[in-house]
Amino acid sequence: MAIRVKHKVRVHAFRTTSEDNAYYMPDDTAAEITLDTFDKQCNANLKVAAGVTEELSFGDVDIVRGIYLEVDGEPTIKLNSSADALQLRKGNALSGSKAKFFFEGEITKVEVIAPVGSDILGEYIVWGDPTP
């Protein structure tokens, strides 16, 4: 039995803060994607102590095809046992701002590395196991 995964990544960029002239503004109605081709998902809260690396659990999802991660700090992450780390950044410095990561593709491993001196709190979801 297939599950349904929906996501909407909507990025708009404007020439000014008054949003009077857009550089990039795809249609909002076309931004929502519905996926009925996967059988499993796993979601969890995340707490990584300062300076520690944690490998995310995929639960019973064997073939992961997507991830969304949202955290309160600026960790680095490593995908698929890569030696290269990706530095996540918050969109702005305001209190309550989150760093977000979204990826669709083949995922075999995700490690979250908290910076020295700062715990990381957040949540994530992975989905996959394509419906036969």
Q: What is the pLDDT of residues 54-65, one digit of tens each?
A: 999 999 999 999
24 domain residue, yes or no: no
13 domain residue, yes or no: no
Judged by phi (left if over 0) then psi (alpha if -120 to 50, else beta), residue 37 lies in: alpha
Q: Give the residue ranges of the chain where pLDDT is below 70.
A: 95
Task: Compute the mean pLDDT over every residue in the chain, rounded to the nearest whole number.
Answer: 94
Confidence (pLDDT) at 125: 98
70 domain residue, yes or no: yes
10 domain residue, yes or no: no
Confidence (pLDDT) at 110: 98
pTM of the model: 0.91
Q: Which domain holds residue 80?
A: 36-130
Confidence (pLDDT) at 28: 85
117 domain residue, yes or no: yes
- Residues 43, 122, 64, 92, CA torsion sign: positive
115 domain residue, yes or no: yes
Number of domains in the chain: 1
Confidence (pLDDT) at 40: 97
Confidence (pLDDT) at 71: 97
64 domain residue, yes or no: yes
26 domain residue, yes or no: no
Q: What is the CATH number of the domain that holds 51?
A: 2.60.120.10
Confidence (pLDDT) at 30: 86
Under 8 Å between Cβ of 125 and 49 = no
